[in-house]
Chains A and B, each alone.
Chain A
Amino acid sequence: MGRLADAAERQRRQLTTSSIAAARLRMIIETVQPGGAPAANGDLAASVADLIAGGDPAVLWFALAVLRAEFPDVAAIEDAQRLARLDGPATVVRRELAGLRAAAWRGSVPRVRVLSEAVTVDVSHTANVDFVSGIQRVVGETVRRWVAEHDTTLVGWADEYVAFRALTGDEYRRVLGTAPDPRSMVRACEVLIPWRGVHVLPELAVERERTRHLAGLARFANTRVTAIGHDCIPMTSGVTVTPGMTSNFSMFLAAMRYTDRIAVTSHASAAEFTGWRRMVRAVGLRGPDLAEVGLPVQAAPSTAEDLAETKQRLCLAGAPLVLVVGSHEPRKNHLAVLHACELLWREGLRFNIALVGSGSWKAEPFRAKVAEGQAANRPLDSITALPDEQLWAAYRLAHFVLFPSLNEGFGLPAAEALACGTPVITSRFGSMEQIVAPDGNPLGGLLVDPRDDRSIADAMRTLLTDDEAYARLREQARARDLGSWDSYAAAAWAYLTLGET
């Protein structure tokens, strides 16, 4: 009896297994050669081997991706190419089918779907974190508009970053703030394999497995990979980011060498990526096209309630509020900020300072200094979590925003302050200088050397004591137009999916 049941089960599994294999082979044939002649003797495997024998690496990439339900990496493609040349493409197909059958026998094969000529947008990271950094804000604002106006498939990565999959409802909501359109939703357990599409990476991808599979896709598949380039901070400020980050970031850049286009977010990041591409060209690779699509900043409105609540939380009567926005890590230069404040307090100037941002890396010296200042009764607040509405209210309530960072791809807090009409003090180089002085003359802010504490203190003193200068900067800040997300999203879409600048 048991033996009979076993035999039935085995037969059932065999049927499932061979039907899965046949379906995958058919998927490859119908995609690569739609309407082509039916396979000789119905031998699907031989037909796929014939397709591979054509020698197009894109076909090989696609065939392996479908059969494995996993994007092949560079080594896997090279390995299969060599095997095909030595033992023939049929051997490659046979090997892949053996792997597939073994997996199917164990019952562990995902469903595979081909995305033909689609635009996919990779929001894997943004969809899985609750905090909102500069990059996540860009992704949210941009992707929301792309989804509304274009036929776009948002994707994350399946399992250990081996292939694309659709977003879950929660992920979708986290990125767009709205519930997904049920018609556009496919089950998130399906593995998606792109064919002749455009893949857009609007966020930073530094997970090692993700960059490994992305590199294979960019280098071999016939899907164009494009990206928004935010910055190269780990390469230029090696010591101000975590050690693991630098190594993973170099993997990210290695994948980016094979992309088609990168839209860089500022003049400074354009210079960084251009420098990087020059390095890449020295090793015999072309590297992507680059275009500067400058980020916009639009202030969100603040209600009277937001303002009142934030005022109560952050402001002291009779003391102007100095606002600092940014995660607590060495690059943001908060120790210099706290030191400049202490110098000014000792001079007898009255103001209170609020530092808004979460601790990210090497935040201990910062926390110690904050504790020290508070113990000495300095009007000093560190706020690790502030809702967006209160952040915008804080920008409006602040006397000025202080942002002397050592390196930024864009420098969002400086731009957001100006968008609210609040003057800023920021660094005299790179994107921060570009935001304050787009045409060379500072408008709405003062530029300082962030590596010189006294330069920071001097600028703060000016904004705290020179009413005339302050009024002028405030007026200039109010007059600034920093672009809109609508026009940014449109320009980024045109460049990344169509190559139009």
Chain B
Amino acid sequence: MSALRTSPHVLAVRLREVVDAVGWPVADDSPGQLRPAVAELLEKGTPGALWLTLAVLRGRFPDVAQVEEAARAIRLDGAEALLGQEGDALTRRFADGDVAEVQVLTDAIIVDVNHTAGTDSISGIQRVAREIAPRWQALGQPEFVGWSDGYRTLRPLTAAERDRMSLTGPGPKNRTRLVPWRGTYISPELTAEPPRARALQALGRFGRTPLNFIGYDCIPVTSGGTVAPGMSSSYLGYLAAARYANRVSMISEASAGELVGWRRMARAAGFQGPQIAQIELPVEAAPSPVDALTEARRRFCVPGAPLVLVVGSHEPRKNHLAVLHAAELLWREGRRFNLVLVGSGAWQVQRFDARVDELQRAGRQVVSSTGLPDELLWAAYRLARFVVFPSLNEGFGLPIAEALSVGTPVVTSDFGSMRQIVAPHGKPCGGLLVDPRDDHAIADGMRRLLMDEQLWQRLRTEAGADGRRTWDTYAAETWAFLTGQPAPG
């Protein structure tokens, strides 16, 4: 056993992984044979073989600069010298106790759900990842993966992570580091953590595994200043990886339009950019048990005052100050309603909090509710007279789709994905469209839904009647596109 753990053996095992994956001919396993064979592979082979060799020997995906540097070193001093250095470094790491196995995953479809599998929270993106993971598993049995500490390599999900993603089967037991070779990589997440994005840039540019993503929006580019400064910079790291991607499925027509604009920019800089499809997100209403309805009614409903619901994190892009202003205009007109804002504070919330506080002190019926369980949110959707969502920019606009799915009318923005959801065939169905940059327009929309009983009844019928897409359809369509079948439609 201890003999197996000597460093020449580790090097041999890793070199063997490389030659086996590539199918490079070697006589036998002795280090004396393997090293020259891999050296020859590196000198004659593609950048893909170099990426693979570095990833396997280092147990860490190289970044773009590291691959370029290694390619230059090989050209100047030969691959033997590089392998010598890499072998020495491996020996040192091995002596320091870094003994994780590295396994090449050949010709596999891998699905990267690193972030969602590791958290219990549910943002829009995490909801998508959770809904599609079990469905994709049924469709194609891909390998679900996360990233090892520090985003060094991919790794299998743990049992707890698989549970969180509702995946069946035990999955691999060990904590092997996985290095993909050929096959295909898919992520339904925003892979913008800087080291993750850096690793993906190099994989996309040099590796032999095409990258495919579900893409959500381009808000940091189109609405600069509405996201935290750090976000726009890491988002651009993600886009830098997307330049090398094979396919991206955007969640709405509007967000696909944004990404097509970005691709045009990237092409001016000499990149082909990915194939882009628009596969609209589905919404399936969750049922509301009586308990949930009772509890939500207790929390949010005031007798004689209809419930006006606002769902969305508290950040400037969601335009909550405009909603609060429109509400105040209506209260001053003597309209009675109870305004409930559900969502957690995200960024630059001070002005929002101050305004809510001010209105409450003036005796207005306004409630800001954070950390609401899903069950109560669905109940609130059902109890609301309508939902107001005049956001300035959305990749999809989930709260509108969710409201419509339970037959509740909406007031939302007259462009982009929000318009698309309410008026998929041009004519609004189940909601009113307003200019979110015009407070009066928002107030008018709200006033009509509060006052015009006939209109409200009609919108309610329209909202409830619309046949919505299902997660099954969405998962099937994205799976087909991201695994290389022609784009739908």
Please name the residue on chain B nearest to A450 by beta carbon. Answer: B270
- Which residues from A are CB-within-8-Å of B223? 254, 283
Q: Determine whether the beta carbon of A276 is less than 8 Å from that of B68.
A: no
Total residues of chain A contacting the partner, CB 8 A: 58
- Could you tell me the distance between the alpha carbons of A82 and B321 in the complex, rounded to whole angstroms? 10
Binds B, one of A186-194, A236-244, A352-360, A414-422: A236-244
Cβ of A63 within 8 Å of any chain B Cβ, yes or no, is: no
B438 nearest in chain A by CB position:
A81
Distance of A365 Cα from B68 Cα, bound (Å): 12
Chain A residues contacting B198 (CB-CB under 8 Å) are: 239
Complex CA distance for A253 and B222, rounded to whole angstroms: 8
A17 is an interface residue with CB less than 8 A from chain B = no
* Residue in chain A with minimal CB distance to B253: A282
A279 to B198, CA, bound (A): 25
B364 part of interface (Cβ distance < 8 Å): no
- Give chain A residues whose Cβ lies under 8 Å from the Cβ of B68: 335-336, 453
Q: Does B79 contact A (CB under 8 A)?
A: no
Render B353-372 as a binary contact track against A, CB cut-off 8 A, 1 for contact.
00000000000000000000
Known: A82-B325, A268-B268. A453 touches B75 (CB 8 A): yes
Cβ–Cβ contact A237 & B240, under 8 A: yes
Stretch at the interface among A125-133, A339-347, A390-398: A339-347
Query: With a CB–CB cut-off of 8 A, which chain A residues contact B266?
Result: 236, 275
Is B224 in contact with chain A by the CB < 8 A criterion? Answer: yes
Which residue on chain A has the smallest CB distance to residue B234? A243
Tell me the chain A residues, 227-271 only, with Cβ under 8 Å from chain B: 232-239, 243-244, 246-247, 249-254, 268-269, 271
CA distance A223 to B237 in the complex (A): 36
Determine if B134 is an interface residue (Cβ-Cβ < 8 Å).
no
Are the CB atoms of A247 and B269 closer together than 8 Å?
no
Q: How far is the CA of A75 from the CA of B237 in the complex (A)?
A: 29
CB distance from B66 to the nearest CB of A (A): 11
Q: A272 within 8 Å of B by Cβ?
A: yes
**How many angstroms between the C-alpha atoms of A268 and B267 in the bound complex?**
9
Tell me if A253 and B224 are in contact (CB < 8 A).
Answer: yes
Chain A residues within 8 Å of B71, by CB: 453
Within 8 A of A (CB), among B57-107: 64-65, 68-69, 71-72, 75-76
Which residues from B are CB-within-8-Å of A246? 232-233, 236
Residue B480 lies at the interface, judged by CB distance under 8 Å to chain A? no
| Chain A: CB-nearest residue to B229 | A247
Are B269 and A430 in touch, CB under 8 angstroms?
Answer: yes
Report the Cα distance A254→B221, complex, angstroms: 8
B261 contact from A233, A238, A277, Cβ within 8 A = A277
Residues of A with C-beta under 8 A to B224: 247, 249-254
Of B14-22, B48-56, B116-124, B412-420, the one with at least 4 CB within 8 A of chain A: B412-420
Known A-B contacts A236-B268, A250-B232, A343-B76; A282 and B237 likewise in contact (beta carbons under 8 Å):
no
Among B65, B198, B243, B265, max chain A CB count under 10 A is at: B265
| Interface of chain B: mostly helix, strand, loop or mixed | helix
Q: Does A407 contact B (CB under 8 A)?
A: yes
Cβ of B225 within 8 Å of any chain A Cβ, yes or no, is yes
- Residue in chain A with minimal CB distance to B435: A284
> 0/1 per residue, B217-260, Cβ < 8 Å to A?
01011111110011011001101100100000000001101101
Q: Do B76 and A346 touch across chains, with their CB atoms under 8 A apart?
A: yes
Shortest beta-carbon distance from A91 to chain B in Å: 14
Q: How far is the CA of A342 from the CA of B263 in the complex (A)?
A: 35
Please measure, in the bound complex, the distance between the C-alpha atom of A121 and the C-alpha atom of B271, giving whole angstroms: 35
Quote the shortest CB–CB distance from A395 to chain B (angstroms). Answer: 25
- Do A278 and B236 form a contact, CB below 8 Å, given A232-B265, A429-B269, A453-B75? no
A-chain residues with CB within 8 Å of residue B271 when the two chains form the complex: 236
Q: Is A375 an interface residue (CB 8 A)?
A: no
Q: Is A32 an interface position by the 8 A CB rule?
A: no
Complex CA gap A275/B236 in Å reads 16
Contact A283 B416, beta carbon cutoff 8 Å: yes
Cα A28 to Cα B79 in complex, Å, equals 75
Distance of A339 from chain B, by nearest CB (Å): 5
Q: Mark B367-399, 1 if CB is under 8 A from A, else 0.
A: 000000000000000000000000011000000
A215 and B262 alpha carbons, distance in the complex (Å): 22
Chain B residues with Cβ below 8 Å from A275 are: 260-268
A280 to B265, CA, bound (A): 13
Cα distance A244–B265 in the bound complex, in angstroms: 21
Cβ of A136 under 8 Å from chain B:
no
Q: How far is the CB of B202 from chain A (nearest CB, A)?
A: 11
Chain A, 387-427, contact with B by CB distance < 8 Å: what is the 0/1 string? 00000000000000000001100000000000000000001
> Are B416 and A282 touching (Cβ within 8 A)?
yes
Q: How far is the CB of A429 from chain B (nearest CB, A)?
A: 3
Q: Is the CB of B269 within 8 A of A276?
A: no
Q: Is B201 an interface residue (CB 8 A)?
A: yes
Asked if residues B332 and A282 are in contact (CB atoms below 8 Å), the reply is no
Residue of B nearest to A215 (CB): B225
| Nearest 3 interchain pairs by C-beta | A238-B236, A284-B415, A250-B224
> B interface vs A, CB < 8 Å?
64-65, 68-69, 71-72, 75-76, 198, 201, 218, 220-226, 229-230, 232-233, 236-237, 239-240, 243, 254-255, 257-258, 260-271, 321-322, 325, 328-329, 332, 351, 392-393, 413-416, 436, 439
Q: Enumerate chain A interface residues (CB-CB to B < 8 A).
A: 75, 78, 81-82, 85-86, 211-212, 215, 232-239, 243-244, 246-247, 249-254, 268-269, 271-272, 274-284, 330, 335-336, 339, 342-343, 346, 365, 406-407, 427-430, 450, 453
16 A-B contacts (beta carbon < 8 Å): A82-B325, A232-B265, A234-B236, A235-B236, A246-B232, A247-B229, A249-B224, A251-B224, A254-B226, A279-B262, A280-B222, A406-B270, A427-B270, A429-B269, A430-B269, A453-B71
